[in-house]
């Protein structure tokens, strides 16, 4: 008899798929590791070349006569911004030269050093990739931030006058201080100074000292030409502006009553003057970036409202309103002025131009400051009547239901409370004889059912800071066709009642709105 032996060593389909999956995962992991290693090797190669270039330039400058250790735009032999190639790699070299007032022999600030150009500090920065094609202006702003942080090499060296002898100074001194909103020193700030009249090459592009100060020593005299930019990691970017004139004003476009209006303002920070032999001091106050998120919802937080259009302004103060446009009556002009809309989930993220580059993008967060919201379009179906009543922002500002105060280094998830006019409810506004809202007034709403009836409605709610109260709360619903008594009382005021014949009847898909005026007790 013959026996056939079966081969039991084959793979099943499932085993084959498992093996294939493991193989794909391993190949993917090794590919990522290989790609990252290649990237790191490329970066290291560029960084080594950049270090060599920076050292080469610095040694080259050491052969210059002391008087010629200056950028060409200020009469020296150093090119402030140039392209270079090494080992088939392209680089850009940015060099700045600054006179230093050394505190060892006194300073011009405390009046103890009449000759304050003690020595020169030369900074050579080599950038590549993302920074290589930036303008000198943008690169100066980005150098201290994220764009160029991993694509730059910077070395600094001091150049002492021959024999260590100081010479009589020329030009003036521009002293820049940087503080936060609590008047604390921001010692991580970085200052860029341009002469925007004669040349856009950075005259100073340096971090501040430990006391939050930068001295630009030997600044050529000029009037209103020094543009100063202040930045620090995690903070908003501040930049000076030119002085406006009657024929050439500075304006901000602001949406007002459905149209865009130009509003003229006087800048908070102006380009600076420098006079020969004099000290000019300016102080910047910068805020840490914040975040502001808004969701439009009903009073109970059970439904969100998308497609709500309104206008918003706020953030960083640009300057003082000159009052030339009668439609804009706010004392200050802000950097954020836009028409905004909640998305399909009722949500809205407010971003402002925190990096001060003229655009609002994913790199921006929100400038701290007061935000005001207005011109609410609550007719979402365009039938000629509003579907909602605006109530408030929470958290908000006590004196104005349509404002939010955003502090520095803060995230606020605010609720824009809207009351649906096409749902059953009672919305009360409680005020005094002068029209002022009454906070903590007690509104008592109840029906005529027996006290032991499980369906009896009997709820008391205190008014908020705006004098508003909404029923129902989250415990029971108001019944269509039922009548409800209302009693409102507050300390120091007579009670106002709507009971019996004056009780309100709940109608289907209808909001009952009442303004209740309380009279002071006699």
Q: Report if residue 33 sits inside a domain.
A: no
pLDDT at residue 136 greater than cutoff 90 = no
Distance between CA 22 and CA 484 in Å, rounded? 69
Q: Please report the pLDDT score of residue 164 as a whole number.
A: 63
Nearest to 410 by CA among 395, 399, 391, 398: 395
| Mean pLDDT along residues 7-16 | 64
Q: pLDDT tens-digit profile of 273-312?
A: 988 878 888 999 999 999 999 999 999 999 999 999 999 9
Q: Report if residue 367 sits inside a domain.
A: yes
Q: pLDDT tens-digit profile of 450-499?
A: 888 888 899 999 999 999 999 998 767 899 999 999 999 999 999 999 99
Domain count for the chain, please give it. Answer: 3
Q: Are residues 301 and 263 in the same domain?
A: no
Nearest to 181 by CA among 441, 409, 463: 409
| Mean pLDDT along residues 348-369 | 92
Give percent of the chain with pLDDT exceeding 70: 86
Q: Please report the pLDDT score of residue 38 as a whole number.
A: 47
For residue 112, what are the contacts with CB-CB under 8 A and spacing of at least 6? 105, 106
* Rg value, the chain, Cα: 34
Q: Are residues 275 and 343 in the same domain?
A: no
Q: Are residues 355 and 450 in the same domain?
A: no
Distance between CA 183 and CA 185 in Å, rounded? 7
pLDDT at residue 519 greater than cutoff 50 = yes
Pairing label, strands 291-297, 411-420: parallel
Output helix, strand, coil percentages for the chain, rounded to the nearest 5: 15, 40, 45
Q: Tell me which of 54-58, 333-337, 386-390 is least confident.
A: 54-58
Question: HSE-up of 292 (CA within 13 Å, CB side)?
Answer: 29
**Secondary structure class of 447 (helix, strand, coil):** coil
Q: Give the pair of three-digit tokens for residue 360.
A: 């609002």
pTM of the model: 0.75
Residue 5's region, left for phi above 0, alpha for psi from -120 to 50, else beta, is beta
Q: Please report the pLDDT score of residue 144 as a whole number.
A: 44
Is 391 within 8 Å of 397 (Cβ atoms)? Answer: no
Domain that holds residue 368: 288-421
Give the phi and the psi of residue 43 in degrees, each rounded to 5.
Answer: -65, -45
Distance between CA 217 and CA 194 in Å, rounded? 14
Question: HSE-up of 174 (CA within 13 Å, CB side)?
Answer: 28
Domain end marker among 373, 398, 421: 421
Q: Are residues 201 and 299 in the same domain?
A: no
Q: Please report the pLDDT score of residue 102 as a whole number.
A: 76
Q: Residue 412's beta-bridge partner residues?
A: 292
| Mean pLDDT along residues 347-364 | 92
Q: Report if residue 140 sits inside a domain.
A: yes
Q: Please report the pLDDT score of residue 473 as a whole number.
A: 87
Q: Residue 217's beta-bridge partner residues?
A: 99, 173
Q: Report if residue 24 sits inside a domain.
A: no
Q: Tell me which of 12-16, 138-142, 397-401 is least confident.
A: 138-142
| Mean pLDDT along residues 397-415 | 95
Q: Are residues 46 and 177 in the same domain?
A: yes
Q: Are residues 97 and 244 in the same domain?
A: yes
| Mean pLDDT along residues 503-514 | 95
Q: pLDDT tens-digit profile of 92-123?
A: 888 888 888 777 666 666 666 667 677 888 88
Q: What is the separation of C-alpha 311 from the centre of its chain, rounded to a whole number of angstroms? A: 18
Nearest to 398 by CA among 342, 466, 345: 466
Distance between CA 278 and CA 224 in Å, rounded? 15
Q: Please report the pLDDT score of residue 60 as a whole number.
A: 86
Q: Are residues 354 and 487 in the same domain?
A: no
Q: Tell me which of 9-18, 123-132, 170-179 is least confident.
A: 9-18
> CA angle at residue 214 from 280 to 107, to 5 degrees?
70
Q: Please report the pLDDT score of residue 174 as a whole number.
A: 87
Q: Are residues 396 and 447 in the same domain?
A: no
Is 270 within 8 Å of 284 (Cβ atoms)? Answer: no
Question: How many CB atoms neighbour CB 156 within 10 A?
Answer: 14
pLDDT at residue 139 greater than cutoff 50 = no
**Secondary structure class of 467 (helix, strand, coil):** coil
Place 132 in a pLDDT band, splitting at 50, 70 and 90: low
Q: Considering Cα of 126, then 132, then 135, then 141, what sign does the dihedral take?
A: negative
Distance between CA 414 and CA 407 in Å, rounded? 13
Question: How many CB atoms neighbour CB 228 within 10 A?
Answer: 22
Q: Give the pair of three-digit tokens for residue 207.
A: 């971090």
Q: Report if residue 446 sits inside a domain.
A: yes
Is 176 within 8 Å of 191 (Cβ atoms)? Answer: yes
- Residue 380 sits in a domain of what CATH number? 2.60.40.10
Q: Please report the pLDDT score of residue 496 as a whole number.
A: 95
Domain end marker among 369, 393, 421: 421
Q: Tell me which of 172-176, 269-273, 301-305, 313-317 is least confident.
A: 172-176
Q: Report if residue 27 sits inside a domain.
A: no
**Secondary structure class of 177 (helix, strand, coil):** strand
Q: Are residues 70 and 138 in the same domain?
A: yes
DSSP code per residue over 306-353 = ---EEEEEEEEEEEEE-S--TT---SEEEEEEEEEE--TTSEEEE---
- Residue 465 sits in a domain of what CATH number? 2.60.40.1120
Q: Are residues 95 and 231 in the same domain?
A: yes
Q: Considering Cα of 450, then 452, then 457, then 458, what sign does the dihedral take?
A: positive
Q: Please report the pLDDT score of residue 143 as a whole number.
A: 46
Place 141 in a pLDDT band, splitting at 50, 70 and 90: very low
Q: Are residues 431 and 461 in the same domain?
A: yes
Residue whose pair of structure tokens reads 């919802």 in the numeric block: 297
| Mean pLDDT along residues 491-519 | 95
The pLDDT mean for the chain works out to 86
pLDDT at residue 366 greater than cutoff 90 = yes
Is 467 within 8 Å of 481 (Cβ atoms)? Answer: no
Q: Please report the pLDDT score of residue 133 as a whole number.
A: 59
Domain end marker among 285, 311, 346: 285
Residue whose pair of structure tokens reads 């604390």 in the numeric block: 184
Is 241 within 8 Å of 269 (Cβ atoms)? Answer: yes
Q: Report if residue 36 sits inside a domain.
A: no
Q: Please report the pLDDT score of residue 195 as a whole number.
A: 83
> CA angle at residue 222 from 221 to 227, to 5 degrees?
115
For residue 167, what are the contacts with CB-CB under 8 A and spacing of at least 6? 115, 117, 161
Q: Tell me which of 173-177, 193-197, 259-263, 488-492 is least confident.
A: 193-197
Q: pLDDT tens-digit profile of 213-252?
A: 888 887 888 889 899 999 999 999 999 999 999 999 999 9
Is 101 within 8 Å of 173 (Cβ atoms)? Answer: yes
DSSP code per residue over 352-420 = --TT-SS---TT--B--EEEEEEEEE--TT-SSS-SEEEEEEES-BTTBTTEEEE-TT-EEEEEEEEEE
Q: Report if residue 326 sits inside a domain.
A: yes
pLDDT at residue 347 greater than cutoff 80 = yes
Distance between CA 138 and CA 116 in Å, rounded? 31
Q: Are residues 252 and 208 in the same domain?
A: yes
Better-scored residue on pLDDT, 347 or 96: 347
Nearest to 395 by CA among 309, 302, 466: 466
């Amino acid at each position: 008899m013959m026996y056939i032996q079966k081969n039991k060593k084959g793979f099943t389909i499932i085993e084959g798929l498992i093996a294939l999956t493991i193989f794909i995962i391993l190949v993917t992991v090794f590919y990522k590791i290989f790609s990252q290693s290649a990237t790191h090797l490329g970066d290291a190669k560029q960084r080594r070349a950049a270090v060599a270039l920076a050292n080469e330039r610095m040694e080259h400058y050491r052969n210059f006569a002391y008087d010629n250790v200056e950028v060409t735009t200020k009469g020296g032999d150093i090119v402030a911004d140039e392209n270079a190639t090494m080992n088939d790699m392209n680089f850009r070299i940015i060099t700045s030269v600054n006179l230093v007032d050394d505190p060892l022999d006194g300073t011009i600030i405390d009046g103890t050093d009449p000759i304050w150009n003690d020595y020169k500090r030369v900074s050579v920065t080599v950038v590549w990739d993302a920074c290589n094609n930036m303008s000198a202006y943008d690169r100066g702003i980005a150098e201290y931030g994220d764009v160029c942080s991993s694509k730059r090499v910077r070395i600094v060296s001091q150049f002492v006058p021959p024999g260590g002898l100081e010479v009589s100074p020329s030009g003036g001194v521009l002293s820049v201080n940087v503080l936060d909103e609590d008047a604390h020193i921001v010692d991580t700030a970085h200052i860029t100074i341009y002469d925007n009249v004669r040349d856009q090459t950075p005259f100073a592009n340096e971090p501040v000292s430990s006391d939050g100060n930068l001295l630009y020593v030997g600044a050529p005299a000029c009037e209103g030409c020094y543009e100063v930019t202040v930045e620090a990691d995690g903070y908003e970017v501040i930049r000076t502006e030119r002085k406006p004139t009657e024929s050439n004003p500075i304006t901000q476009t602001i949406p007002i009553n459905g149209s865009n209006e130009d509003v003229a303002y006087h800048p908070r920070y102006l380009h600076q003057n420098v006079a020969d032999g004099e000290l000019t001091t300016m102080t910047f106050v910068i805020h840490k970036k914040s975040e502001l998120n808004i969701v439009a919802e009903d009073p109970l937080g059970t439904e969100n409202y998308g497609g709500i259009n309104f206008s918003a302004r706020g953030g960083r103060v640009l300057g003082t309103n000159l009052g030339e446009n009668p439609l804009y009556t706010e004392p200050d002009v802000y950097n954020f002025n836009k028409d905004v809309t909640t998305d399909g989930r009722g949500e809205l993220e407010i971003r402002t131009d925190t990096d001060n580059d003229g655009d609002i993008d994913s790199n921006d967060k929100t400038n701290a400051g007061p935000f005001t919201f207005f011109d609410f379009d609550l007719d979402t179906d365009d039938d000629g009547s509003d579907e909602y009543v605006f109530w408030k922002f929470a958290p908000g500002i006590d004196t104005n239901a349509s404002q939010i105060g955003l502090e520095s280094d803060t995230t606020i998830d605010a609720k824009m409370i809207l009351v649906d006019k096409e749902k059953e409810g009672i919305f009360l506004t409680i005020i005094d004889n002068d029209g002022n809202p009454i906070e903590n007034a007690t509104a008592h709403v109840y029906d005529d059912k027996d006290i032991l009836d499980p369906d009896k409605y009997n709820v008391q709610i205190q008014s908020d800071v705006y004098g508003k109260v909404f029923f129902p709360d989250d415990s029971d619903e108001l019944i269509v066709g039922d009548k409800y008594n209302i009693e409102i009382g507050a300390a120091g005021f007579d009670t106002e009642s709507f009971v019996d014949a004056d009780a309100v009847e709940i109608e289907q898909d209808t909001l009952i709105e009442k303004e209740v005026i309380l009279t002071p007790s006699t």
